[in-house]
Amino acid sequence: MTARRPRRSGGTLRVLVGIVSLFALSLQIAGAAPSAADVDTDAGGARCEEMTELSVPDTEITAGELVPAGDFVDAEGTVHRDLPEFCRVAARVAPSLNFEVWMPTATWNERFLGVGNGGFAGNIRYDSMAPALAKGYATASTDTGHSKSDSANSWISNPAQLEMWGRTSIHLMTLRAKQILTAYHEKAPKFSYFEGGSTGGRQAMGQAEFFPDDYDGIVSHSPGMDYSHVMMAVLWTAQRLADRPKGALDSDDRKLLNDAVLAACGGRDGVASDPFLNDPRDCHYNVKRLECRPGTSTGCLTAEQVRTAEHVYTAVTNQGSGEHLYPGFAYGSEAAWNFAAERQELVSYPQALFGRAVFDDPEWDWRSFDWDEDVALVEEKLSPKIDPTRADLSKFDERGGKLIMTQGWSDPFQSGSLPIEYYTRVLLERDGSTVRSALRDVQEFYRLFMIPGGGHVTGGMGPNSFDALSAVRAWVEQGIAPKQMVATKYQDDRQENRVVMTRPLCPYPQIAGYDGAGPTTEASSFRRENDWGDFAKDVAREKQRMQARERSN
**Are 218 and 177 members of one domain?**
no
Q: Report yes or no on 184 lying in a domain.
A: yes
Determine the Cα–Cα distance for residues 100 and 84; give it in Å rounded to an integer: 17
**Are 440 and 372 members of one domain?**
no
Domain's final residue, options 131, 161, 189:
189
Q: Which of 21, 198, 220, 417 is catalytic?
A: 198
Q: Give catalytic status of residue 221 as yes or no.
A: no
**Are 289 and 146 members of one domain?**
no
> How does residue 44 score in pLDDT terms, banded at 50, 70 and 90?
low
Contact 352, 256 (CB under 8 A): no
**Are 382 and 429 members of one domain?**
no
Q: Report yes or no on 323 lying in a domain.
A: yes
How much of the chain, in percent, has pLDDT values that exceed 70? 92
Q: Give catalytic status of residue 456 as yes or no.
A: yes
**Are 1 and 14 members of one domain?**
yes
Q: Give catalytic status of residue 21 as yes or no.
A: no
Q: Which of 216, 226, 387, 411 is catalytic?
A: 411
pLDDT at 414 over 70: yes
Instruction: Work out how many domains the chain is built from and give that number.
Output: 3
**Are 270 and 242 members of one domain?**
yes
Determine the Cα–Cα distance for residues 409 and 392; give it in Å rounded to an integer: 25
Determine the Cα–Cα distance for residues 247 and 304; give it in Å rounded to an integer: 4
**Are 505 and 521 members of one domain?**
yes
**Are 412 and 463 members of one domain?**
yes
Give pairs for 336-339: CB < 8 Å, separation 24+: 336/254, 336/410, 336/411, 336/412, 336/455, 336/460, 337/249, 337/254, 337/312, 337/412, 338/412, 339/234, 339/237, 339/238, 339/412, 339/413
Determine the Cα–Cα distance for residues 273 and 249; give it in Å rounded to an integer: 25
**Are 171 and 262 members of one domain?**
no
Indicate the average pLDDT of the chain.
Answer: 91
Of the candidates 28, 422, 341, the one whose C-alpha atom is nearest the C-alpha of residue 187 is: 28
Domain's final residue, options 354, 386, 418:
386
- Alpha carbon 123 to its chain centroid, in Å, reads 16
**Are 337 and 452 members of one domain?**
no
Model confidence pLDDT, tens digit, residues 172-190: 999 999 999 999 999 999 9
Residue 54: strand, helix, or coil: coil
Q: Which of 229, 456, 525, 538 is catalytic?
A: 456
**Are 154 and 52 members of one domain?**
yes
Q: Domain residues for 526?
A: 209-225+390-553
**Are 346 and 217 members of one domain?**
no
Q: Report yes or no on 338 lying in a domain.
A: yes
pTM of the shown model: 0.91
Residue range 133-146: mean pLDDT, rounded: 98
Q: Which residues contact 79 (CB under 8 A, 6 or more apart)?
A: 71, 72, 73
